[in-house]
Amino acid sequence: MLEECAPGYETRQTVHFHVVSYKDKTFSTLPLGKHGARRNPEIEAGYARALARQLEIVDCAKKQLPQIY
């Protein structure tokens, strides 16, 4: 979803979260994943919706992930 909707996005892992930045917006609390940190953890729908709103990519996210809307 991010590749399509937020080209050039940046991500980094902190002690507690995955942090995603796009343009001048940042979402700071994507979970690291159950049972320890993972690069691509399964993300609950609410986090994906909040991420899309914060990065202001909602219209594109709805097309990419219609199942969470």
Partner 1 sequence: MSHYPLFFTYRDRIFGNGFLAEVTSHGRILCATEDDERWVYGVEPGGIAATGDNEQAALEAYRQSFTNVLLDLATEAESFDAFRTAALKFFADINRITEDDWKKAVEQVRERAIDLPMKRESADAECYVLVEQKEQPSFSPKDNEPASLEPALAA
Binding residues for partner 1, per CB under 8 A?
14-17, 19, 24-29, 44-47, 49-51, 53-54, 56, 58
Smallest gap, in angstroms, from Cβ of residue 21 to partner 1? Answer: 9
Residue with smaller CB distance to partner 1, 15 or 35:
15
The token pair at 36 is 């320890």
Residue with smaller CB distance to partner 1, 9 or 56:
56
Residue with smaller CB distance to partner 1, 26 or 38:
26
Residue 21 bridge partners (DSSP): 10, 26
